[in-house]
Amino acid sequence: MRSDELRALQAPLKDRYGESPEAALVTLKAEGQLGENLACSVDTGRALVEAGLHPATGGSGTQACSGDMLLQALAACAGVTLQAVATAFGVAVRSGKVIAEGDLDFRGTLGVAKDCPVGFREIRMRFELDADAEDALLDKVVAVTERYCVVLQTLRSSPPVTVSRTDAPAG
């Protein structure tokens, strides 16, 4: 896709959202079905992913780990965002990688150490890019990607999350 094609694709959306901000509010949804043997199946819309415990918490390693899925979502979002930003700036990226990695201390997850946090201690992301562009321009592409990557900004800003429970429908 060329930058003019991307602009033409997004221009009506930007106009609509500018005129009617409520039109830009979209609720995304993910649903997981509890399964046997400590598993939860999530329908991604493209495939069914069965998530289970990480081997460091007793899992077999044959199921997806939700921590890995979080990093995969970050890498996917950053990769798509980078390609859109590069396109908008007229930078042709021949190939590239987005590497997202994070450090977990499973003592927190398993309740071994109450002072140990549950969750990632640190997440690192880097881009390996093959493109004909000056370093300053590639740095700008990465900076703008960082600014507009939804998953990255969500992780950084920690929006309020509510948790509730209801009874499952009978049947």
CATH of domain 65-157: 3.30.300.20
Helix axes 66-88, 150-157, angle to 10 degrees: 120
CA distance linking residue 141 with residue 93, whole number of Å: 11
Per-residue pLDDT 10s for the chain (171 aa) are 888 999 899 999 999 999 999 999 888 887 778 787 778 888 888 888 999 999 999 999 899 999 999 999 999 999 999 999 999 999 999 999 999 999 999 999 999 999 999 999 999 999 999 999 999 999 999 999 999 999 999 999 999 999 999 998 887
Domain boundaries, the chain: 65-157
For residue 123, the tally of other CB atoms under 10 A from its CB is: 16
